[in-house]
Each structure stands twice: as C-alpha cells, then as structure tokens.
Amino acid sequence: MNRILEVKDLHASVDGVAILKGVDLIINPGEIHAIMGPNGSGKSTLSNVLMGHPSYKVESGDILFKGESILDWTTDERARKGMFLSFQYPTALPGITIPNFFRTVLKSIRGEDIPMREFKKELKDGMKELEMPEEFLKRYVNDGFSGGEKKRTEILQMSLIKPALAILDETDSGLDIDALRIVSQGITNAKSPDRSILLITHYQRMLNYVVPDFIHVFAKGRIIKTGDKDLALELEKSGYDGILEKAGLNV
C-alpha cells in the first residue's frame, strides 16, 4: 500500500469547539485533490490539523502519512518528512530576505546545506517560472507584498522544497487573471508521480488550469461529496445549498 495520505474519521477541535466532524480522505501518489466548501466549514482547520498546528486538538480518528500515523509528530517533523502547507494568509518576516529564509528552510528540511551556487540557480529558475522580478531577491519575505505576490512566494517555496504532499490553502484567492494562470502553471509543473497536491479553492476557474483527479465538497466539518472535475461545474450551478440538501444536511 503506497498511499501518501489517509485521513480516517478525523474529529478535531479548537478551544473546545468541535470543527472537524469525521473527515475521511485518501490521497495516492501523484494525485491532485481539490476541496471546495462554504466559508467556515473547516477547510483551513483541516490543513492546520494535517500539519500539526498546536492550537488544534485531534479528538479521535487518525492521520496516516505514507502509512504511518503522524498524530504524535510535531509540525517540524511533518515538514521534514515531506508535508508542506501554503497558508491562506501568509505572514510577513520583516528583516529576513527571501534567499536567506528559503535557504534556511531548505537546510532544515533536507538536513544539509545546499551549495550557494546551486541554491541561487534553483531560486532564480523558480522565480522566472513564476514571473517574479529579480528585485524580490532583496525583499523581506512577504513584507509589503501584495496578495498575489505572497501567493507566488508560497508556490516558489513549494517548488524549492519539492514536498511529497503539498496542501495549498486558497492559493488562488486575490490573484489577477494573469497571476492565476502563472501560479496555476507553477502548481501544474509541480505535479509529478511523487508529489500529491491538496488544493483548497473557492473558484472553479482555477480548476480550468490545474485539473484535479478528485473534487471534494467540504461542509459542516467533513467531506460530504466526492466527484471528478465536473463536480465543480455542478457546484457553480446548484451552489452548496443544493448539494447539502441532496445530502440531507441543510438543517
């Protein structure tokens, strides 16, 4: 069995409030899964719980990464073993330049220093792909970045880290039309047999560029429906209410 991620009947809470209420999800190597769902349904909570954010408490159920239960692993361990989360709201790191930050991150994840020349080449290639001007090499991470620039920086980080599982939380929000295409291309380029992607999005349009193998509808703390890319079109038409009603959950 070579599953990348298996989430089993996961229940989790924050500050004593139950948010995840029985999430089941299986992701195999190389697959792209999209999660769509109403605001406040628990999508970001799921990403945070998968990454082991300390504010969230797993009440029951399990998370297996490459077949191993990771509930006891710290966020750091999860990252080193190949999990990556791109945040819905990336934070600024004033005083820390992009090259310095990324080199430190890569060193901690790979467990060894990368020769400067090699690192610079990887970084510049990644920036070129995402059409980020070289002046960003001098900028502090996310400091004063526009929404779209922050999202590109997240994807740049993913392309350098090359995680086995990338969780991208609303990487498309706030992107202009060109940036959406560029960032989507960056995500599509990251697709490989040894990389799986979990993409949280509100918009069907991103899925025109990044074609998911599965789309899950997330509502009321769990996945209520799974389908292929056409499910996004159905959602556009019927809205979440229609789907919830069919699932008998519109109470």
Task: List residues near Mg ion by CB under 5 A.
Answer: 43-44, 88
Question: Minimal distance in Å, beta carbon 114 to ligand ATP?
Answer: 34
Over the window 48 to 67, marking each residue x when it contacts ligand ATP by CB under 6 A and - when it does not, the resulting string is: --------------------
Binding residue count for ligand ATP, defined by CB under 6 A: 13
Our CB check for Mg ion shows the closer of 46 and 109 to be 46
Q: What does 212 bind: ligand ATP, Mg ion, none (CB cut-off 5 to 8 Å by kind)?
A: none
Q: Please identify, using beta-carbon distances, which residue of 88 and 226 lies nearer to ligand ATP.
A: 88
The nearest distance, CB 26 to ligand ATP, in angstroms, is 20
Contacts of residue 27, defined as CB under 8 A and 6 or more positions apart, other chains included, come to 3, 4, 5, 6, 33, 165, 196, 198
CA distances, 101 to each of 93, 154, 244 (Å): 9, 12, 43
x/- track of binding to ligand ATP for residues 12-51 (CB under 6 A): --xx-x-x-----------------x-xxxxxxx------
Binding partner selected for residue 184 from Mg ion, ligand ATP, none, CB under the kind-specific 5 to 8 Å limit: none
Say if residues 110 and 82 touch (Cβ distance below 8 Å): no
Asked if 112 is part of the footprint of ligand ATP (rule: CB under 6 A), the reply reads no
Q: How far apart are CA 141 and CA 14, in angstroms?
A: 29
Interatomic CA distance for residues 232 and 207, integer angstroms = 8
d(CA 88, CA 91): 10
Structure token digits, residue 111: 């467990």
210 binds, among Mg ion, ligand ATP, none (CB under 5 to 8 A by kind): none
Q: Which residues pair with 25 in a beta bridge?
A: 7
Query: What DSSP designation does 71 have?
Result: T
The Cα 211–Cα 221 span in angstroms is 25
- Kindly state the smallest distance separating residue 45's Cβ from ligand ATP, in Å: 3
Q: How far is the CB of 185 from ligand ATP (least distance, A)?
A: 24
Interface ranges with ligand ATP (CB under 6 A): 14-15, 17, 19, 37, 39-45, 88
